[in-house]
Amino acid sequence: MAAPVLFHHPSSLEHDPGPHPERPARITAIETALAARDWLGFERRESPEATRAQLEAVHPARHINGIQELCAAGGGMIDQDTVVSEGSWGAALHSAGGAAAMVDALLGDGGVRVGASVHRPPGHHAEVGRAMGFCLFNNVAVAARRARDEHGVGRVLVLDWDVHHGNGTQDVFYDSDEVLFCSIHEWPLYPGTGAEGETGTGPGEGFTINMPVPSGTGDDGFCSLVEHVVAPAARAYGPGLILVSAGYDAHHDDPLASCRVTDGGYATMATSVRALADGLGVPVGIVLEGGYELGALARGFTATLEVAGGPGPFGAPSVEEHPLATAALERLRAGSPLLG
Ligand SMILES: [Zn+2]
């Protein structure tokens, strides 16, 4: 197996929102931790900028131009949470471009099976026509569309374990079966979307699986939802690529939410994902989203890459079925095209 690859770019440090939890030190913390572990065997590559066509596969030109113009004018506020500086434009282009280049590495003929895209700003709150929630372009959506447009992969699983609902990714793929979007998120919490009943529309009906969890949910809930709900749904779906919107703000130390996932919980979820990918014979790409306590972020991300990029092959982890998973399975069996 070819070495796993990690895409990054120094422009991630140039996106300056001022005093803000989504700050450059997040990248420094992750990279310092990975460097201390010799990058866990990942081959590092410098991310290219996303091309205009890659961005326009997800966002309309007016959205892209609006961000470009605001950055060129020196920056400013898009909403109360989402602030850009002059350097945000380059950072955002490389953040989306890194995710797309990761997909090229995973689906090209180099034999790479595991990739990571480590950038900021994050992307999963960015809707088709709207930047919000610290996110400018939807990096994981750009990656999924790249899989389809450049590599002919018509089915992609996106697992979003960031503690916030990935409203942007849901928005991009809500009416399509080209992505099976599975999100585990604290509820109620920002941005307020992601109810169980939001399951997709038209040809996308049943291809959005929202798993809201109450405040205080820890490893037992998160890991069981991945192993007992996401994994079987994904096996029924049969994706050609697995992408993870990997946020670390469900960690018990994170200041922005109140779930209680541990470093070990992220390792267990990564084990489920890697076992799923090995079983399906498809590659895995990890795309960084949120996570605002620097130590928890660095440890959680390192734990994820240590498992995801490990030599394998991996079997499914031993996880007890949690009542949240039992309830989600009952809902899906009642109406899902995948588990019905
Ligand atoms: Zn988040």
CA of 147 to the centre of ligand 1 (A): 24
CA 108–ligand 1 middle distance (angstroms): 30
CA quadruple 149, 2, 244, 56: dihedral, nearest 10: -20
From the list 128, 142, 178, the residue with the least C-alpha distance to 54 is 142
pLDDT surpassing 90 at residue 324: yes
Contact, 156 vs 180, CB < 8 A?
Answer: yes
Look at residue 179 and give its three-state secondary structure: strand
Distance 246 CA to ligand 1 centre (A): 9
Residue 158 Cα to ligand 1 midpoint, Å, equals 15
Question: What's the CA gap between 221 and 108, in Å, rounded?
Answer: 36
Beta strands (DSSP E) in the chain are: 5-8, 43-46, 75-77, 83-85, 114-117, 156-160, 179-186, 208-213, 241-246, 284-288
Q: Check pLDDT > 80 for residue 1.
A: no
Q: Does the predicted TM-score (pTM) go above 0.95? A: yes
The tens digit of pLDDT for each residue in 45-71 reads 999 999 999 999 999 999 999 999 999
Number of separate helices (H) and strands (E) present in the chain: 11, 10
Positions annotated as catalytic residues are 125
What was the pLDDT predicted at 313? Answer: 81
Tens digit of each residue's pLDDT (9 = 90 or more) over 188-211:
999 999 999 999 999 999 999 999
Percent of the chain with pLDDT over 70: 100
Q: Distance, CA 169 to ligand 1 centroid (Å)?
A: 13
- Whose tokens are 């949120």? That residue is 290
